[in-house]
Amino acid sequence: MKEREVQFKSISGMNIFGTLTQPTSMDQRRPAILLVPGSGPLDRNGNGKRKSQTLNLYNQLASFLTEQGFITLRYDKRGTGKSEASFMETGFWDLVEDARAAIQTLKEEPAVDPKRIFVIGHSEGGILAPEIVKGHNLAGLILVAGAAQSLPEALAFQREQTVQELKNVKGIKGKLLSLFNVGEKAEKQGQKFDQKILRSTKDVVRYQGIKINAKWFREHATYNIYEGLVEIDCPVLAVTGSKDLQVMPERVYETVKYTKVETEAHIVDGMNHMLRDQADDVGILQLKKAYKDVGSQPLSPPFLELVKMWLNKHVSSG
């Protein structure tokens, strides 16, 4: 395969940079896939600035997909990598706008068959996806690690697990946590945070001295993911891992209830939010440990096989 850097502009004029990966042999126009990243300041490879945030999600996925004959495009989110603007000031609709511009870039790429373009949305990318694909007449959409749930619902799920795990801590540590009502305090702090952010009017606010991307939170809170799913007009594959602690895995099956198009929903046994097979059962308070060195691990083979089979099934009908 071969890679080259591409640059495109969002509707608001921001310069976004990414990587186009394509098979070396290009005897005909190829189907293409846009990778839409998850939440956080992630670059085109799915990595943050710190060493502990080296996830290598999207470069690995792009390599696999290109080996299957697809051209792929992955890009730096606003304010990350080489892309312009401030990440902290970027909202839900800004992210949608950038991804739609990326689709247009693929459509204009001479090597791409514009009738066979797919989108893969990971985590937050799956929440944005229904708005991204609107009106583009795409060949298919793959929602990975978080289908059929909003960001507020996912965050509430994470908080519930955190509070419950704090209450269940055993031994001396557990007694101390109980003595100081840490679980209850964490629950109340979450509610206070929500209230302050939703009442704010600025793009960025401070909460307990920490800068928060308030615009992003507010726009996610007002977006109805279920209405978005109803409006999808291309085939859908929804996939979540059974060991994904950042979303509710079983909600993946809800996708079928809302979409009006051909839809498949699957839970990959043993896969976590970073699309890797995970042997151990860990709690949400142990995620840092679970994700240590995750970037050096291969993506889940059962997940890749599922995606490959679905794409092969739909690429000819795109």
Could you tell me which residues come within 8 angstroms of residue 210 by beta carbon, excluding any fewer than 6 positions away?
A: none
Q: Are residues 158 and 273 in the same domain?
A: no
Query: Where among 167, 186, 215 does a domain terminate?
Result: 215
In angstroms, the CA 23 to CA 71 distance is: 7
Q: Is the confidence at residue 240, as pLDDT, over 80?
A: yes
pLDDT mean across residues, the chain = 92
Check residue 70 and give its pLDDT: 97
Query: Where among 215, 238, 258 does a domain terminate?
Result: 215
Q: Are residues 206 and 107 in the same domain?
A: no
| Cα–Cα separations (whole angstroms), residue 142 to 51, 169, 171, 214 | 29, 38, 44, 28
**Tally of domains in the chain:** 2
| Cα–Cα separations (whole angstroms), residue 227 to 107, 123, 257 | 27, 18, 12
Q: Which pLDDT band, with edges at 50, 70 and 90, does 100 fall under?
A: very high
Q: Are residues 39 and 162 in the same domain?
A: no
Check residue 181 and give its pLDDT: 57
Q: Are residues 121 and 196 in the same domain?
A: no
Q: Are residues 40 and 171 in the same domain?
A: no
Q: Specify the CATH number for the domain of residue 10.
A: 3.40.50.1820
Q: Are residues 86 and 205 in the same domain?
A: no
- List % helix, strand, coil for the chain (3-state, nearest 5): 40, 20, 40
Q: Which pLDDT band, with edges at 50, 70 and 90, does 190 fall under?
A: confident
Check residue 179 and give its pLDDT: 52
In angstroms, the CA 275 to CA 282 distance is: 15
Q: Are residues 276 and 129 in the same domain?
A: yes
Q: Which residues pair with 119 in a beta bridge?
A: 34, 141
Q: What is the mean pLDDT of residues 115-123?
A: 97
Q: Are residues 116 and 228 in the same domain?
A: yes
Show the tokens assigned to 69. Answer: 């004959």
**Strand ranges inside 23-147, DSSP E:** 30-36, 71-75, 112-122, 140-144
Classified as helix, coil or strand, 113 is strand
Q: Is the confidence at residue 283, as pLDDT, over 60?
A: yes
C-beta of residue 77 within 8 angstroms of C-beta of residue 87:
yes
Provide the residue range defining the domain that includes 195: 154-215
Q: Are residues 120 and 235 in the same domain?
A: yes
Q: What is the mean pLDDT of residues 99-127?
A: 97
Percent of the chain with pLDDT over 70: 94
Number of helices (H), then strands (E), in the chain: 11, 10
Q: Is the confidence at residue 273, as pLDDT, over 50?
A: yes
Could you tell me which residues come within 8 angstroms of residue 283 by beta carbon, excluding any fewer than 6 positions away?
A: 161, 165, 245
Q: Is the confidence at residue 239, as pLDDT, over 70?
A: yes
In angstroms, the CA 33 to CA 137 distance is: 14
pTM higher than the cut 0.85 = yes
Classified as helix, coil or strand, 166 is helix
Check residue 224 and give its pLDDT: 97
Q: Are residues 209 and 235 in the same domain?
A: no
Q: Are residues 200 and 234 in the same domain?
A: no
- CA 269, 273, 277 angle in degrees (round to 5)? 45
Q: What is the mean pLDDT of residues 136-153?
A: 95
Q: Are residues 242 and 259 in the same domain?
A: yes
Q: Which pLDDT band, with edges at 50, 70 and 90, does 316 fall under?
A: confident
Specify the higher pLDDT residue, 6 or 172.
6
Q: Is the confidence at residue 223, as pLDDT, over 90?
A: yes
The radius of gyration of the chain's CA atoms, rounded to the nearest angstrom, is 20
In angstroms, the CA 236 to CA 255 distance is: 9
